[in-house]
Amino acid sequence: MRQLLKSTLAVCALLLLAGLARAEVILTPDEIEQTLAHGPWPAVQAPDPSNRVSGNQRAINLGRRLFEDPILSRDGFMSCATCHQPDQNFTEGLPRSMGRKLLDRNTPALLNLRAHRWFGWGGDSDNLWAQTMLPILHPDEMDNTADNIKATMERGPYASDYRLLFGHAATQSSETVLVNVAKTLAAYQETLMTGNTSFDRFRDALERGDALAASSYPRSAQRGLKLFLGKGRCAFCHSGPNFTNGEFHDAGVPYFLGPGRVDAGRHAGLKTLLSSPYALDGAFSDDPHKSGAWAVRSVIPTHANFGTFRVPSLRRIAQTAPYMHDGSLADLDAVVAHYNEINTERLHADGEQLLRPLNLSSQDKEDLVTFLKSLSDD
Amino acid sequence: MSRVLLTILAFVFAFPAFAEKLPIFDAHIHYSHDAVQLTPPEEVARILREAGVKKALVSSSDDDGTQKLLAAAPEIVVPALRPYRRRGSIGTWMHDPAVVDYLKERLAKYEYFAIGEFHAYGDDILTPVVQQMIAMARERNLILHHHGDREALDLIYKTWPEARVLWAHSGFAPPGEVADALKTYPRMWSDLAFRSDMASREVLDPRWERVFKAYPDRFMVGTDTFAPERWYYVGSHAEYSRAWLSQLPDDVARMIAYQNAEKMLATK
C-alpha cells in the first residue's frame, strides 16, 4: 500500500512539473504591462451621440437590409455588400476594390468601427454616417444622388421603415433623407464587432495573475508578441485594444496609381474632411454638445500628410487579406517581410523614424505571424 | 458660415495683392534615381511650371537626375551636387572615401551653385570626407546646403567662416533657435522645407511671424521631393506657401517666396 502511494505521488509530481514547464509565460513584467494595454476586449461600446438612431434596433435592422440591397445605387448595379462582403469579413479579397471600375484602394474591413476617430484610408470623415455617404454618391461606386435616395425612401419598399424612424421623407430635404439613410447604415455597421481571441484570453489571464490559463497561449505566439512590443516596434502604431492608434503614417508603401497619378492619402482626406458639412461640428450631427468635434476642429494639415494612410486595426487581420491601403501585400508573411526589409529610401530622414530594417530571423518572422493570427476570433 | 467659405473669403478679400500667383523659388528639390524612372524630366518640368515655380535648387541621388532636369528646364533648375548616390547613404556617406572622388568627378564635369543637400550631425563635420567636401566648396565658392543640427552648423562655420550655408529645414529647430543661428551667422539662410509649424490652417504662428519680420531676407521655401510620389505635391506645396506668406507684408512675402534665394545665389 505504501509502495503504491509512493508511486502515485511520484507520478503526480512528474505531471505537475510537466504542467509547470508548459505553463511558462516568457514575457517580462514590462511586456506584461504593455500587453494589458491591448485590452480588455470586447471594448465597452456606447451609442454614437452624433447619430440619434445609433443602437436603435429598428435602425439596425433597416441598415442591415439597405446595406445588402443595390437599391441604394443609381441603377441597382451594386450595394454596400458588393465590396464589403459579409462572408469575407466585409472586405472583398481583392487588392483594390472593384466598383463600376477598378478603384484606387483596398476595401477596408468594416469591423469594430465604433472605436474609430477617423474613417477611410485617408480619414475623409470623422464619423461613420458621413463616411457611409461617400460611396453612395461616388460616381465610380454607387453613383446615386440625394434626390434619388429621397424618392426611394418616399415610395420604395423601405418607406414605412424610414417613416417610423424619421417621419415622412416627403416632408424632408433630399440631403436630410440621405443623412438619415446613412445613419441607419452606420447603426448597422456599428454592430459588426470581432469576438474574443486566444490573445484576449492570454491577456485576461495575465491580468488575473492566472499563469496556468495564460500558459495555453502558444509559446510561438508569445515570442511573436515580444517582437510586436519590442524589436518590431509594431505596437507604437498598432496600439490599444483595437490595435491601432487611429492616425495616419507613411508605412513605406509606394502610392503611385499609374502614370501621373498618386494617392495623396491623408492630404486628400483632410481636404474632404475640412470642407464637409457632415463633420461632427456641423449641423447634421445630432449631438447637442458636439462632443466629438474637438478632433476636426483641432486637426492641422502638415506636409507629412501627403501619402500617409490610416493605421488599420489588427483584429481579425488573418482573415482580411490582402493588406495595406492598396492591397499590395498578399498575406501576413508579405507584410512582415515588408517591414523587415523596409526601404528607408522612401521615408523622410526626419519623418517616420520608427521604421528601419528589423533583421528578423526566419523563426522571428514565423513567430510574429503566429501572434498576428492569434488576433482573430477562435 | 462653413469653415471652407470662411477660409476662401479670408484669402480672397484680405489679401488682394496675392490674387495673382506669387512666383516661388523652391529651394529644396530632389529628382533622384527612382523619381527619374517613374516620372520623366519633361513631366517634372511641367509640374514645376504649372505650380508657378520660377526657380528651384535641385540636388539628387544620384546627380544624373539633376542633369536631366536641367536639360529639360534650364530656366528653372539651379543645380546643386549631392555628395552621395543613394538616399540610403545619408547616415554613412561621411565615412566613405569614394565620395571625394565622386565630388571631384562631377565638379570637373558640370557647373553647380551648391553642394548638398547633405546630412551631417555634430562632429560628422570633422570627418576627412566632409572636410574635403567643404574645401572643394570653398575653392569654388559654392553654397553648402546642410541638413543637420546646430552643432554641425557651428562646426561648418568654424571650418569655413565665410561660407554661405543654406540650413535645410532650418534644422527643424524652434523659431527662437533659428533666429539665434541667423543672428550668429550673417551668411546663413534658412529653408523651411517639410516644416508645417509656420502656420496652422494657414494662420501664421506669431513666434514665426516675429522671426520672419526680424530676418525677412534670410528665409526661403522648399517642397523636399524625397520620394518619387512627392513630385505631385509640388503644386499643393506652392499653394500652401502662398497662403501663409499672404499673411506677411507683401514685400516680406516676396522676399521669402523667391527674392531671398536669388539674393543668396548672387552673394559672393
Q: What is the CATH number of the domain that holds B83?
A: 3.20.20.140
pLDDT at position B86, please? 83
Smallest CA–CA distance, residue B1 to chain A, in Å, is 10
Please give the Cα distance from A175 to A172 (Å, whole number): 8
Return the pLDDT at B10.
38
pLDDT per residue as tens digits for the range B23-42? 999 999 999 999 999 999 99
- Asked whether residue B181 is assigned to any structural domain, the reply reads yes
Asked if B2 and A267 come within 8 Å (Cβ–Cβ), the reply is: no
Report the C-alpha gap between B223 and B237 in whole angstroms: 6
CB nearest to B227's CB, from A267, A300, A346:
A346
**pLDDT (0 to 100) of residue B88:** 78
Dihedral sign from CA coordinates of B174, B180, B183, B189: negative
Q: What is the pLDDT along chain A (378 residues), one digit of tens a residue?
A: 455 555 544 444 444 434 444 458 999 999 999 999 999 999 888 999 999 999 999 999 999 999 999 999 999 999 999 999 999 999 999 999 999 999 999 999 999 999 999 999 999 999 999 999 999 999 999 999 999 999 999 999 999 999 999 999 999 999 999 999 999 999 999 999 999 999 999 999 999 999 999 999 999 999 999 999 999 999 999 999 999 999 999 999 999 998 889 999 999 999 999 999 999 999 999 999 999 999 999 999 999 999 999 999 999 999 999 999 999 999 999 999 999 998 887 777 776 678 888 999 999 999 999 999 999 987
What count of other Cβ atoms lies within 10 Å of the Cβ of residue A160?
Answer: 8
- Residues of B in CB contact (< 8 Å) with A are 2-4, 34, 38-39, 43, 86-88, 90, 119, 147, 169, 172, 194-196, 200-201, 224, 226-230, 232-233, 236-237, 240
Across the range B173-180, mean pLDDT stands at: 98
Rg, Å, chain B Cα set: 18
B4 domain-assigned: no
> Can you list the domains of chain A with their CATH numbers?
20-42+197-254+319-378 (1.10.760), 46-193+266-306 (1.10.760.10)
Domain count, chain B: 1
**pLDDT digit string, tens, across residues B192-206:** 999 999 998 878 999
Closest to A64 measured CA to CA, from A161, A145, A151: A161
In this structure, is residue B220 part of a structural domain?
yes
Burial class (CB in 10 A: 0-12, 13-18, 19+), A135: buried
What pLDDT is stored for residue A20 in this prediction?
Answer: 44
Task: Using the structure block, give the residue that is written with the C-alpha cell 548616390.
Answer: B85
Size of interface A-B (CB pairs under 8 A): 67
Residue B3 lies in a domain: no
Q: How far is CA A127 from CA A116, A183, A281, B46, in A?
A: 8, 10, 11, 38
Which tens digit of pLDDT belongs to each residue from B211-234?
999 999 999 999 999 999 999 999
Asked if B258 contacts B24 with a C-beta cutoff of 8 angstroms, the reply is yes
In a 13 Å sphere around the CA of B73, the CA atoms on its Cβ side amount to 25
Q: What residues does A125 pair with on adjacent strands?
A: A119
Binary contact (B229, A345; C-beta < 8 A): no
Write the residue in A274, A302, A306 that is nearest to B230 by C-beta. Answer: A306
Most confident listed range (A303-307, B4-8, B13-17) = A303-307
Q: Distance between CA atoms of B232 and A306, rounded to whole angstroms?
A: 9
Tell me if A196 sits within 8 A of A341, measured CB to CB. Answer: no
Confidence (pTM): 0.90
Cite the DSSP H helix spans in chain B: 3-14, 33-38, 41-50, 64-72, 98-109, 128-140, 150-159, 175-184, 206-214, 234-245, 250-254, 260-266
Examine the pLDDT at B17 and tell me if it is beyond 50: no
Q: CB-based burial of residue A361 (10 Å sphere; 0-12 exposed, 13-18 middle, 19+ buried)?
A: exposed
Q: Which three cell numbers stand for residue B27?
A: 529651394
* pLDDT tens figures, B59-108: 999 999 999 999 999 999 999 999 988 877 888 999 999 999 999 999 99
Subunit contact A304:B194, Cβ cutoff 8 A: yes
C-alpha cell at A253: 508603401
Dihedral sign (CA B96, B101, B106, B108): positive
- What does the DSSP assignment read for A153-164? HHHSTTHHHHHH
Give residue A174's Cα distance to chain centre. Answer: 31
Q: Do A306 and B194 touch (CB under 8 A)?
A: no
Angstrom distance (rounded) from CA A286 to CA A260: 41
Residue B76 domain-assigned (yes or no):
yes
Residues of B with Cβ-Cβ distance to A302 under 8 angstroms: 196
Reduce the DSSP state of residue B15 to 3 states and report it: coil
Question: What pLDDT is stored for residue B4 in this prediction?
Answer: 45
Q: How close is the nearest chain A Cα to the Cα of B263, in Å?
A: 26
Name the CA radius of gyration of chain A, rounded.
24
| DSSP structural state of residue A114 | G
**Domain span at residue B222?**
23-266
Q: How many CB atoms lie within 10 A of CB A208?
A: 10
| B119 → chain A, closest CA residue | A349
Give the pLDDT confidence score for residue A356 in this predicted structure.
87
Of A254, A306, A345, the CB nearest to B86: A345
Is residue B200, in this structure, part of any structural domain at all?
Answer: yes
